Amino acid sequence: MQLVWLVTGASRGFGLELVKRILARGDRVIATARDISRLDPLLAQPDIDKTRIFVLELDVTWPSNVLQETAKKAIDHWGRVDVVVNNAAYAVSGPSEELGADMFMEFMKTNFAGPINVNNAFLPHMRARRSGTLVVFGGFAVYKSEFMGIGAYSTTKAAVHAYGETLSAELAQFNVRVLVVSPGTFDTSPRMTVHAPAHPIADYDAAREELRKRLAMRPHIPNMGDPARGMDTLVDVVRGEGRAAEKGEGGKMPLWLFLGDDSIAAAKGRAEALRDVAEEWKEVGAGLGRDDA
């Protein structure tokens, strides 16, 4: 069956790669971006079937009524949208104390409120059809967050994971599937920067410098994930074919898709750490029920 996909943040990185992988499978795609001219190079490629791609401006931070109007345009184009992929996000790093609540909340607007508002704009359509798939992008930072500078970003992604998990339970009754994608480190070019605080705290000067060095090293991380392979796998899982043919029989999807060896290791590591701490400290936390007898 030919699916109609909508992808946010299709201008570069995973989003652009996903659009290419969707087209390669013969599906149709609504490629959305804040600046749609950034999709011109893709559209200029001679092997792109332009009858199966529709480009639409969409900023995930737009107010919900504007996103609803945009969703209507998207649905009207081919009469339906089967899969919505919430890929758009950004990242800034810095010590949590310097970022402060304002920066945490600023991040939330794009990385967390964005997917909620986009999904909600398409949900009346999907509920009415009793069919659809919502994909939200979390990340392995959720399970590997105990290091300097990652707090604001990993908080938004942890919120996305929790939101996606609950949403999957809420929407099962409408036959709408939810997939939480948790990529490891992939060879995209995220424009992650180190936050330049208005009021720097001198105690963090060295940490900020260390963060800058770490970001500069990102392109040299060995065995980084290949975004084309990662997005091909995502299409496999949504379509229940290729790598996911056996496990995805009958439209079955996992709740989380851990993409990349590092992501799988991070999820397993977190699961083991939770189990170990719960076991080791159980005498401290157990048996705190009210004495009703």
Ligand X SMILES: NC(=O)c1ccc[n+]([C@@H]2O[C@H](COP(=O)([O-])OP(=O)(O)OC[C@H]3O[C@@H](n4cnc5c(N)ncnc54)[C@H](OP(=O)(O)O)[C@@H]3O)[C@@H](O)[C@H]2O)c1
Burial class (CB in 10 A: 0-12, 13-18, 19+), 173: exposed
- Alpha-carbon span 127 to 174, nearest angstrom: 6
- Residue 185 in the binding site for ligand X (CB under 6 A): yes
What residues between 21 and 50 interact with ligand X by CB under 6 A? Answer: 33-35, 38
Nearest approach, Cβ of residue 253 and ligand X (Å) = 18
Q: Minimum distance from CB of 17 to ligand X (Å)?
A: 8
In the range 107-126, which residues lie near ligand X by CB under 6 A?
A: 110
Q: Does 14 bind ligand X (CB under 6 A)?
A: yes
Determine which residue in the list 13, 94, 151, 248 makes contact with ligand X, applying CB under 6 A.
13
Q: 86 or 168: whose CB is closer to ligand X?
A: 86
Nearest approach, Cβ of residue 11 and ligand X (Å): 4
Give the span between the Cα atoms of 6 and 56, in whole angstroms.
10
Q: Does 188 bind ligand X (CB under 6 A)?
A: yes
Range 76-105 burial, b when 16+ CB lie within 10 A, else e: eeeebbbbbbbbbbebbbbbbebbbeebee
SS3 state of residue 165: helix
Q: Given the complex with ligand X, which of 28 and 161 has the nearer CB atom?
A: 161
Q: Does 9 bind ligand X (CB under 6 A)?
A: yes
d(CA 139, CA 146): 14
Amino acid residing at 22? I
Interaction mask 136-155, ligand X, x per CB under 6 A: -x-x----------------
* Side chain identity at residue 27, one-letter code: D
Candidates 82-90, 144-152, 233-241, 271-279; binding stretch for ligand X (CB under 6 A): 82-90
Q: Collect all residues with Cβ–Cβ distance below 8 Å to 275 and sequence separation of at least 6.
A: none
d(CA 253, CA 177): 8
User: Cβ-closest residue to ligand X?
Assistant: 13
125 vs 161, which CB is nearer to ligand X?
Answer: 161
Q: Which stretches of the chain bind ligand X, using CB under 6 A?
A: 8-9, 11-15, 33-35, 38, 59-61, 87-90, 110, 137, 139, 183, 185-186, 188-191
